[in-house]
Amino acid sequence: MSLPKIYLRPGREEAIRRFHPWVFSGAVARTEGDPQDGDVVEVVDKNGRYLATGHFHNGSILVRIFSFQPVVPDVAYWTAKLTTIRTIRTALLPPNTNCYRLVHGEGDGCTGLIIDLYNGVAVLQAHSIGMHRERNLITEALKNVFGDELRAVYDKSAETLPDEYAATVQNAYRYGLVEVPHKVEENGHTFLVDWISGQKTGFFLDQRDNRQLLARYAAGKKVLNAFCYSGGFSVYALQAGAALVHSIDASQKAIDLTNRNVTLNAGEGENRHEAFADDVMKYLQAHDHQYDLMVLDPPAYAKSLSARHRAVQGYKRLNAEGLRRVAKGGILFTFSCSQVIDRELFYNTIVAAAIEAKRQVRVLHHLSQPADHPVNLFHPEGGYLKGLVLWVE
């Protein structure tokens, strides 16, 4: 069966020849056939020569490419693709770790698809209608790839799909059933993950390497973990011998989960840890604590270019206030996961915050997402997480 074809304007095929995974509507000359949102289509040049295969969506990004070779996206195709990706993941994972990102969208040639593995449970999150329509095939492929190791597949796409389509979707198990919260292991630390009611797919896997780095600085230190969510940085700091750890999050549910994770790793009666359900800025302004080690890992302040200026001001205010609470000779881990805030802009924003706080600062590390969140060389937009480790004088 022939697929609908998307013909590009003259000269607009070069981005696709350089393997960029998006076709913008302005690059399209005409459409052959009548593709509907989510349909598989072929992208061709002005003369009809094949360029790529992807999912159609009537919007600014008209096609999200998942292959630069003619393919039939059936169970065999997805099994082969996931097998290759799993082989790469197996080679890079640290010991004593059974939770990781199996598929990272464009970074793995699967535009619009996220799959996180939590100790035998695959949590699938589709960001496009086309990928969501592939969910049954992908579930079968996961069963083929993992065999008896796969305990369940949970589809958590309702929050990430276009609104009109999302209204017809319910998050649900596609295979198996595992009660939450579910125990996972990361670098030898144990965490409870709830993919049903938790944020994202249940855990912030992208901070694994950065949590491990923080542990190298934590022994004997007074630590603040701001925007702590489930307490990942807090657990690492305590297990590395921190003298005191304060965890703050506006969500009481997050604080409860943090306390459970601390107890799970450190045991009952851990008196070095206190958790507070509070607004981080209000907490920083209301207390005069000085911390030797601080983590500022806020949620994305900007999800669109129109919100970028306001986000920059928010990052500056937050980091200036944080820098005022870092003791002389202390360390600040600061992050942005806003895709529209690039590395240079984030760096310059932290410079402005240091000037406002009147603190001398040196950069010790430039941080990013771990290797199971790969960035496609031809799609740098996939490098969303950026961070700095600062020595504050």
Give the three-state DSSP class for 197: coil
Which residues touch 353 (CB under 8 Å, ≥6 apart)?
Answer: 315, 316, 317, 318, 319, 320, 322, 323
Task: Find, among 309, 307, 387, 384, the residue nearest to 347 by Cα.
Answer: 387
| Burial bucket for residue 366 (CB in 10 Å: 0-12, 13-18, 19+) | exposed
**Residues 206, 369 contacting (CB under 8 angstroms):** yes
- As a whole number of angstroms, the distance between CA 108 and CA 372 comes to 9
Cα dihedral value 45, 50, 51, 54, nearest 10: 110
Measured distance CA(366)–CA(343) in Å, rounded: 9
Q: In what order do the strands lie in the sheet with 113-118?
A: 99-104, 113-118, 121-126, 152-155, 172-176
- With CA atoms as reference, report the closest residue to 324 among 363, 282, 354: 354
The phi and psi torsions of 265 (rounded to 5 degrees) equal -95, -40
- Tell me how crowded residue 334 is: count the other CB atoms within 10 A of its CB: 25
Distance from C-alpha of 229 to C-alpha of 251, rounded to nearest angstrom: 8
**CA distances (Å), origin 21, targets 3, 17, 172:** 18, 10, 29
At which residue do the structure tokens 């004088």 appear?
Answer: 393
Which residues are marked as active site?
337
The β-bridge relationship of strands 291-296 and 326-336 is parallel
Q: Answer yes or no: are the C-beta atoms of 315 and 307 closer than 8 Å.
A: no
